């Protein structure tokens, strides 16, 4: 991996067992106590195993959990902003002993791995809600998930014997070691990552292409794990991304890779979290737009920009690229932002996600100044079918 940016912490973690070691671990897992993982915990397990969450090697123990909330860093001082935890009910935890192994299974009772249990400790849900999400309101989807988790947390390294199965987007499911190999093969030394859980509209396209002017390549990295019910489903979004790349992007400078994470909606903290993960995938730069990973009115428009000022850039290691609010300006006859456009807002064409959904439900296509016609067509057809 010479010439590529170092993973966070200096080493790409792998917790996937292979060969005889895997076979022995699987035999053992069939005989020991088990914990059923939620969908988000399954996603987290996969990202731990493949190095997406490097340097984390398992679900957090108490010190790392509280350090992440209190200082936005692990107990060793390395920046980290979101707890990665495994919960259990008091009853489940009461049957477990520290310094033993626990089988980890999904909702279908498939054995995925083993937790080498180091610590059982209390889940401070209220503190997590306030520190990570900035609110105790369960109307916030991230807070709601925290409140739904068990009262206890289980910490320890993991060993994965079976990756979660995915029947979708197989050609786009690249691990960090794979994307790093791809970037090296393409000769990309400066790579910008773009996080999204939405279709890419003209504003997103504009900031991606601005970023492309200063780097060698762009990795569009849509999140395809658990999201809110009213978010546009991943299969529809993927069709939009494919169509855009086919018609409007230089194919030798762009790659599409899916991100198997669950969405937290933690706003500023999740912006840093997303940047660190893309560093593990081999990106040197990361796009941070307005209200990154936000939901409702819980965060300020540019809070996700300001939070990076709280870190030593060298400790973060990946360069954030901050973009202002973007729009189509009729006077400029093109895409612009408040940083580059001198004209009154009456000349700007902007649409909220709510307005776009209303248009699509009514059978109306958003204007080309907001969305490429091909993308609007995919969304309109999907809305009709729903």
Domain identity same for 39 and 184? no
Examine the domain organization and report whether 75 and 176 are in the same domain. Answer: no
**Whether residue 138 is found in the same domain as residue 253:** no
240 and 379 in a single domain? The answer is yes
Query: Is 61 among the domain residues?
Result: yes
* Catalytic residue set: 197-198
Instruction: Return phi, psi of residue 195, to 5°.
Output: -90, 135
6 inside domain: no
Same-domain status, 205 and 232: yes
Residue at 14 is within a domain? no
CA pair distance 133, 106, nearest whole angstrom:
27
Q: Are residues 150 and 279 in the same domain?
A: no
With a CB cutoff of 8 Å and minimum separation 6, the contacts of 182 are: 174, 255
Measured over all CA atoms, what is the biggest interatomic distance in the chain, rounded to whole angstroms? Answer: 70
pLDDT, one tens digit per residue, over 355-371 is 777 787 777 888 899 99
d(CA 330, CA 347) in angstroms, rounded, equals: 5
H or E segment to which residue 322 belongs: strand 319-322
Q: What percent of the chain has pLDDT over 70?
A: 98
Pair 334, 357 in one domain = yes
**What's the CATH code of the domain at 209?**
3.40.50.620
Domain boundaries, position 48: 19-160
Instruction: Domain count for the chain, please give it.
Output: 2
What is the pLDDT tens value at each position of the chain, 386 positions in all? 447 899 999 999 999 999 999 999 999 999 999 999 999 999 999 999 999 999 999 999 999 999 999 999 999 999 999 999 999 999 999 999 999 999 999 999 999 999 999 999 999 999 999 999 999 999 999 999 999 999 999 999 999 999 999 999 999 999 999 999 999 999 999 999 999 998 999 999 999 999 999 999 999 999 999 998 888 899 999 999 999 999 999 999 999 999 999 999 999 999 999 999 999 999 999 999 999 999 999 999 999 999 999 999 999 999 999 999 999 999 999 999 999 999 999 999 987 666 777 787 777 888 899 999 999 999 988 887 76
Mean of the per-residue pLDDT values of the chain: 95
Asked if residues 37 and 104 have their Cβ atoms less than 8 Å apart, the reply is yes
Q: Are residues 209 and 278 in the same domain?
A: yes
pLDDT in tens, 128-182: 999 999 999 999 999 999 999 999 999 999 999 999 999 999 999 999 999 999 9
**Do 250 and 125 sit in the same domain of this protein?**
no
In a domain, 8, yes or no: no
User: Given 160, 194, 218, which residue is the final one in a domain?
Assistant: 160
In angstroms, rounded to a whole number, what is the distance separating the alpha carbons of residues 314 and 316?
A: 5
User: Which position has the token pair 């889940």?
Assistant: 123
Q: 111 and 239 share a domain?
A: no
Q: Looking at the structure, tell me whether residues 360 and 254 fall in a common domain.
A: yes
Same domain, 150 and 177: no
Domain end call among 160, 188, 217: 160
């Amino acid at each position: 991996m010479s010439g590529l940016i170092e993973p966070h912490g200096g080493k790409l973690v792998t917790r996937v067992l292979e060969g005889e070691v895997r076979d022995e671990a699987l035999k053992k897992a069939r005989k020991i106590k088990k914990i059923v993982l939620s969908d988000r915990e399954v996603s987290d397990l996969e990202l731990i195993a493949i190095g997406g969450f490097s340097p984390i090697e398992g679900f957090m123990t108490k010190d790392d959990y509280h350090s992440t909330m209190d200082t936005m860093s692990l107990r060793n001082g390395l920046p980290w902003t979101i707890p990665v935890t495994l919960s259990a009910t008091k009853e489940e935890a009461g049957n477990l002993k520290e310094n033993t192994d626990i089988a980890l299974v999904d909702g279908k009772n498939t054995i995925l791995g083993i937790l080498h249990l180091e610590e059982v400790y209390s889940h401070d849900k209220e503190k997590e809600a306030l520190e990570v999400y900035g609110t105790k309101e369960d109307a916030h989807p991230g807070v709601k998930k925290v409140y739904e988790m068990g009262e206890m947390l289980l910490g320890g390294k993991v060993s994965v014997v079976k990756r979660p199965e995915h029947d979708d987007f197989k050609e786009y499911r690249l691990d960090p070691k794979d994307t790093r190999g791809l970037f090296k093969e393409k000769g990309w030394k400066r790579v910008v990552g773009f996080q999204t859980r939405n279709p890419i509209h003209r504003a997103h396209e504009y900031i991606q292409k601005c970023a492309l002017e200063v780097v060698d390549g762009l990795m569009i990295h849509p999140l395809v794990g658990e999201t809110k019910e009213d978010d546009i489903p991943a299969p529809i979004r993927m069709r939009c991304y494919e169509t855009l790349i086919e018609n409007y992007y230089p194919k030798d400078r762009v790659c599409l890779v899916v991100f198997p994470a669950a969405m937290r909606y933690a706003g500023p903290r999740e912006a840093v979290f997303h940047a660190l993960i893309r560093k593990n995938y081999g990106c040197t730069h990361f796009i941070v737009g307005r209200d990154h990973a936000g939901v409702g009115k819980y965060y300020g428009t540019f809070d996700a920009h300001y939070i990076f000022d709280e870190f030593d850039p060298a400790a973060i290691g990946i360069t954030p690229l901050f973009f202002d609010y973007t729009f189509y300006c009729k006077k400029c006859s093109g895409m612009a932002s408040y940083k580059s456009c001198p004209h009154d807002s009456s000349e700007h064409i902007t649409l909220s996600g709510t307005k776009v959904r209303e248009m699509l439900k009514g059978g109306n296509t958003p204007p080309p100044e907001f969305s490429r016609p091909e993308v609007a067509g995919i969304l309109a057809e999907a809305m009709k079918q729903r």
